Amino acid sequence: MSFDINQFKIELAPFYEAQSNEVELYTAAYNAKLPVMVKGPTGCGKSRFIEYMAHKLNKPIITVSCNEDITASDLIGRFLLDANGTKWVDGPLTLAARYGAICYLDEIVEARQDTMVVIHSLTDHRRELMLDKKGELVKAHPDFQLVISYNPGYQSLMKDLKQSTKQRFTGMDFDYASAELEASIIVKESGVDVETAKKLVKLAHTTRNLVGHGLDEGASTRLLNYAATLISAGVNVKDACNMALVCPITDDGEIRATMSSAIDVIFD
């Protein structure tokens, strides 16, 4: 049975509002067969952008959410037992390279350093992947592209990419949208009214100003959409904000009290 890579295509266009010329830059990188590294805070739209571009370019996308337990075999593939003995099963990276898909490694810094070495040969002029256990050299399909993302705010000596990996990628910096654009995104995503969306964005900016002063990271656009969705569904504004914006980002009593006061001021 032949493998159908088109099952990984995104049928419905994801909603995405461009902030600058990122669409043109990514398209140029894809056409030039260059790997891309996307950096930015949690929930600012990195993954949505990559999905949007995959749909726009009409290319399949295979996403891997990286974690510290991922091994090279998880990415490349392995031999598995079945009723007829052993058979080789391609991993997501091999599938993308073999059949021509975008392979998106999300939050790549969460993966072990030794695992990331396997991607190197796919990110330079060779564009190939050696399957040592199978004794096969996979030459990347012309449509293949490797994309990685991570949040620089969580970098540490233990969780950072080596320069030998970083310098194999082109880079794109992402951040939260402007207040006006972010409010527009929330309205379109959740159906909430413009005035409420603007107040939610104002609340988000309050939390983002607390970063380094009790918060590791402020409320993301994703969380704003959660709050707006609850409000659109008829949930009380303060309850929705507490559920979607306060509870997820802090357990500190003083910070929660500060955020609750901000909700009262902004929405009253």
Query: In tens digits, what is the pLDDT along the chain, a chain of 268 residues?
Result: 578 999 999 999 999 999 999 999 999 999 999 999 999 998 899 999 999 999 999 999 999 999 989 999 999 999 998 888 899 999 999 999 999 999 999 999 888 877 888 999 999 999 999 999 999 999 999 999 999 999 886 654 456 788 888 999 999 999 999 999 999 999 999 999 999 999 999 999 999 999 888 888 899 999 999 999 999 999 999 999 999 999 999 999 999 999 999 999 999 8
pLDDT of residue 1: 53
pLDDT of residue 203: 96
d(CA 71, CA 90): 14
pLDDT of residue 157: 44
| 3-state helix vs strand vs coil in the chain, percent to 5 | 45, 15, 35
173 to each of 43, 152, 188, how far by Cα in Å? 14, 10, 24
Return the C-alpha torsion angle 105, 174, 194, 209, nearest 10. 110
Provide CB contacts within 8 A for 67, sequence distance 6+.
107, 110, 111
Q: CA gyration radius for the chain?
A: 21
Q: Is 252 left (phi over 0), alpha (psi -120 to 50) or beta?
A: beta
Q: Which of 105, 13, 5, 107 is nearest to 57 (CA)?
A: 13
Global confidence as pTM: 0.90
Q: Which CATH architecture has domain 5-173?
A: 3-Layer(aba) Sandwich (3.40)
Which residue(s) pair with 236 in the sheet? none
Question: Which ranges of the chain would DSSP assign to H, the alpha helix?
Answer: 22-31, 46-56, 72-76, 92-99, 113-116, 163-166, 179-190, 194-208, 221-232, 237-241, 253-267
Are 140 and 129 contacting, i.e. CB atoms less than 8 angstroms apart? Answer: yes
Are 254 and 224 contacting, i.e. CB atoms less than 8 angstroms apart? Answer: no
